[in-house]
């Protein structure tokens, strides 16, 4: 993905509108959007029909079948298709505007005889990608708009084809719930990948800290923020739908309550991972600081060892003439004077190394595995004492009085 595409995606996710300073209900199409592909799935309890439509008007024949019609539109690059579908299904102009404005946050809006939902789907390939999903729910139809082809609804389609579950026997509101639930459940494997990714980054930071790890940490924090912005309003939307007596029937509201619970769990995972990602930078800085301290310690030890060696070398480099006085460096005339000086330097260095080693300043303290704190299981609860055969507690018995 090029830099221009990445910037455009980031601006879209940040919430920039393309139709500002325009009258309400104005339809503006993204010039980079793909051309729409219309796929219809009409079903009843005993039959399913699935087709790809050539024109929006072809869906009218399926609406006369008497079952539930699910029309999915992949791509928002043709404004006439959106406008024509709005005429066929009676979509409000403000809702059509929100369909094409893909910077919307998750929300639920009620219109006469319709319910309009907006939420964001997430996909993880080489990067995190979110796209807007717009859902219209009517008495006998569900109309969905996606930005691009590819979604997380394969499981829902398979349940409709095979007649598994209650989706074919329930109404359109249950199908809308099934789609929303599929979007929510699609976040769990993504967050699982991020959890494994953060654990791997944390291990690398502790064992081999390096500047190349800073960019992945910030990228993970940004991706988690994108997920949070997508799920936070979705959780509020589901909570409102679960308590709305008019938007959905009572049976579907029970399932929406379960979807709200899933959204709450996702938010908990996102918040936990964000805290982990935020603390990883502190761990990285602490690891770098600790590594620098280790380097400075080694350099300090080397400098400390060479201080007495330099002193010995400087003493024997004063060049006093032993012929002038017998006190002027008699070692210079020794046969083994030079080996004596080298041996003295080696002995001094070895003595310092031994001292540093015993003090734990070089190579760390040598500790056995038993010195490392271990996780200790809680002590078992003592079993209650067996009752005494005399009906009294043996520990409560008093000793007999001493004889007189």
List the beta bridge partners of residue 53: 38
* Cβ neighbourhood burial of 168 (10 Å; 0-12, 13-18, 19+): buried
Q: What is the DSSP string of 37-85?
A: EEEEEEEETTEEEEEEESSGGGHHHHHTTSSEEEEEEE----HHHHHHH
Q: What is the pLDDT of residue 315?
A: 80
Place of tokens 């734990």: 360
Mean pLDDT of 14-24: 61
Confidence band of 383 (pLDDT split at 50, 70, 90): low
Q: What is the pLDDT of residue 395?
A: 45
Specify whether the CB–CB gap between 191 and 240 falls below 8 A: no
Residue 104 Cα distances to 13, 95, 117, 128, 169, angstroms: 9, 11, 11, 18, 32
Q: What is the pLDDT of residue 13?
A: 47
Span 386-396, pLDDT tens digits: 555 444 444 44
Q: What is the pLDDT of residue 250?
A: 82
Strand bridging mode 107-111 / 114-124: antiparallel
- Kindly tell me if the per-residue pLDDT of 200 is higher than 80: yes
How far does the chain reach from its first CA to its final CA, in angstroms? Answer: 104
Rounded Cα distance between 60 and 89, Å, is: 10
**Any residues with CB less than 8 A from the CB of 247 and at least 6 apart, and which?**
108, 110, 115, 241
Specify whether the CB–CB gap between 118 and 95 falls below 8 A: no
Mean residue pLDDT of the chain comes to 82
Lowest mean pLDDT among 11-20, 370-379, 393-402: 393-402
Domain coordinates in residue numbering, the chain: 27-167
- Kindly tell me if the per-residue pLDDT of 157 is higher than 90: yes
**Residue 135: which of 92, 180, 184 has the closest Cα?**
180
Rounded Cα distance between 146 and 100, Å, is: 10
34 compared with 23, residue with greater pLDDT = 34
Fold category of 27-167 in CATH: Beta Polymerase; domain 2 (3.30.460)
32 compared with 138, residue with greater pLDDT = 138
Span 230-239, pLDDT tens digits: 999 999 999 9
List the beta bridge partners of residue 49: 42
Rounded Cα distance between 334 and 165, Å, is: 102
Rounded Cα distance between 41 and 179, Å, is: 14
Lowest mean pLDDT among 98-107, 287-296, 297-306, 328-337: 328-337
């Amino acid at each position: 993905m090029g830099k221009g595409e990445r910037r455009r995606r980031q601006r879209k996710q940040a919430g920039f509108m393309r139709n500002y300073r325009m009258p309400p209900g104005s339809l503006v199409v993204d010039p980079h959007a793909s051309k729409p592909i219309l796929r219809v799935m009409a079903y009843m309890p005993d039959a399913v029909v699935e087709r790809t439509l050539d024109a929006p008007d072809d869906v009218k024949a399926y609406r006369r079948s008497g079952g539930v019609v699910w029309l999915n539109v992949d791509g928002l690059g043709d404004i006439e298709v959106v406008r024509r579908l709005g005429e066929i299904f009676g979509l409000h102009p403000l809702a059509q505007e929100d369909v094409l404005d893909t910077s919307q946050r998750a929300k639920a809006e009620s219109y006469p005889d319709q319910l309009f939902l907006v939420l964001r789907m997430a996909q993880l390939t080489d990067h995190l990608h979110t796209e807007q999903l717009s859902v219209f729910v009517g008495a006998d139809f569900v109309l969905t708009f996606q930005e691009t082809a590819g979604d997380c609804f394969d499981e829902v389609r398979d349940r409709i084809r095979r007649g598994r579950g209650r989706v074919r026997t329930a109404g359109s509101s249950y199908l809308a719930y099934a789609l929303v639930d599929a979007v929510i459940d699609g976040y769990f494997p993504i967050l699982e990948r991020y959890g494994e990714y953060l654990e791997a980054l944390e291990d690398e930071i502790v064992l081999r800290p390096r500047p190349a790890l800073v960019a992945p940490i910030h990228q993970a924090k940004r991706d988690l923020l994108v997920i949070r912005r997508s799920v936070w309003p979705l959780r509020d939307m589901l909570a409102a739908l679960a308590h709305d007596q008019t938007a959905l029937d009572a049976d579907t509201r029970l399932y929406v309550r379960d979807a709200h619970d899933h959204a709450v769990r996702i938010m908990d995972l996102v918040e936990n991972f964000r805290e982990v990602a935020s603390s990883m930078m502190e761990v990285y800085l602490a690891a770098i600081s600790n590594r620098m301290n280790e380097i400075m310690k080694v350099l300090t030890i080397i400098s400390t060892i060479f201080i007495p060696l330099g002193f010995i070398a400087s003493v024997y480099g004063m060049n006093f003439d032993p012929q002038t006085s017998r006190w002027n460096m008699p070692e210079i005339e020794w046969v083994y004077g030079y080996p004596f000086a080298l041996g003295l330097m080696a002995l001094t260095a070895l003595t310092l190394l031994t001292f540093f080693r015993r003090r734990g300043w070089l190579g760390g303290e040598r500790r056995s595995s038993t010195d490392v704190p271990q996780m200790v299981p809680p002590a078992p609860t003592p079993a209650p004492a067996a009752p005494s055969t005399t009906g009294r507690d043996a520990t409560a018995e008093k000793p007999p009085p001493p004889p007189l």
